[in-house]
Amino acid sequence: MALFQVVVGPLSDAWGRRRLLLAGMALYMAGSLWCALAPTVGYLIAGRILQSLGAAAGTVLARAIVRDLFSGSAMTRFFSTLMVVNGVAPVVAPVIGGQLLTLTTWRAVFLALAAVGAILLLAVVFALPESLPHVNRAPAHLCTTLRTFRSLVTDLLYLRYVLAAALMFAAVFAYISGSSFVLQDTYGLTAQQFSIVFGLNGLGIVLLGQVSAWLVGRAVDEHTLLRVSLIVATLGSAGVLTCALLGLPLPLLLTCLFLAVSMLGIVLANATSLALSDHGSAAGAASSLQGLLQFLVGGLAASAMSLPGQVTAVAMGTTMTICASAALTVVYPRRS
């Protein structure tokens, strides 16, 4: 999913967004059906790869389309809505999947995903016109693509914002990967109680994302909102670590988790808007590099957290604190 974004993004700068998005949704639907019917684990893995190719197209092209259609504070407000979906999905999806498994088998989960893919495919066919005019498209040459990526990785301002988004995503990914071990195994929450906690944190992402959409351009600018949200996320993550180290009551731990996780919607929306604002002519490539970094950094953070062999509250809190504070350090200087 991370690597294919780097392919889809630059291609969309040359070919347009709509055709690749149609192909991506079709691949996602086909991969989901393949998984549902897989007779062996080998076939299941192959189906998951097809799914990831389609999902990569949807992820990278959604950001690029927003950049095509909006600019300034309007772009940030729309990203706030988009990032609510991107931020809440990893939090809520395990809850929905778990509830499905109480009613049916794992194959039905993939049938449900295929149905979602079909709905999205129809939505693109009937409701989403092409957002990138031919006059704004770049040549589809390897040398051109390499030059574009070189200009992106040498743009320190762009890198600051995409790294901040990736590191904050990693902090929340650490929570997603480790919270079931911590809250159920260590603190003794039941599956139902854990689902409620997961849902409340997802609701926090939604609510704070909408607060961000209302504030930006009215009360504060994107950079200030980004810095403040990262300060809160860092304090919340440090609170999680402190609770784990000192054995403080569970309600205090959950409060700190909520503060840290709910900042994701604000951080992703504003960091993405700031990163893409100066790269309208290469929005696909810029969006793809951001997606690559998010998944790579998130995966590395989750893997590092589990290196001791068992995911503990201290390990989760430490990983979240390191990632959130690193994101804050990256963006703290004011934009010149």
Instruction: Please give the residue that has the higher pLDDT: either 141 or 8.
Output: 8
Which has the closest alpha carbon to 226: 260, 265, 271? 271
Residue 65 host element (H or E): helix 41-69
Mean pLDDT of 17-22: 94
- CB under 8 Å to 36, separation ≥6 — which residues? 107, 108, 110, 111, 114
Mean pLDDT of 52-66: 91
Mean pLDDT of 140-168: 88
Model confidence pLDDT, tens digit, residues 23-40 = 999 999 999 999 999 999
Please tell me the predicted confidence (pLDDT) of residue 336: 45
CA angle at 231 for the pair 87 and 284, rounded to the nearest 5° = 40
Least confident of 84-93, 247-256, 280-289: 84-93
Residue 251 has pLDDT above 80, yes or no: yes
- How far apart (Å, rounded) are the C-alpha atoms in residues 51 and 29? 7
- How far apart (Å, rounded) are the C-alpha atoms in residues 217 and 77? 9
Residue 87 has pLDDT above 70, yes or no: no
Model confidence pLDDT, tens digit, residues 198-227 = 888 888 888 888 888 888 877 788 888 999
For 71, the token pair is 């600019």
Please tell me the predicted confidence (pLDDT) of residue 307: 77
Mean pLDDT of 66-88: 79
Residue 334 has pLDDT above 60, yes or no: no
Share of the chain above pLDDT 90, in %: 46
Model confidence pLDDT, tens digit, residues 271-288 = 988 998 888 778 888 889
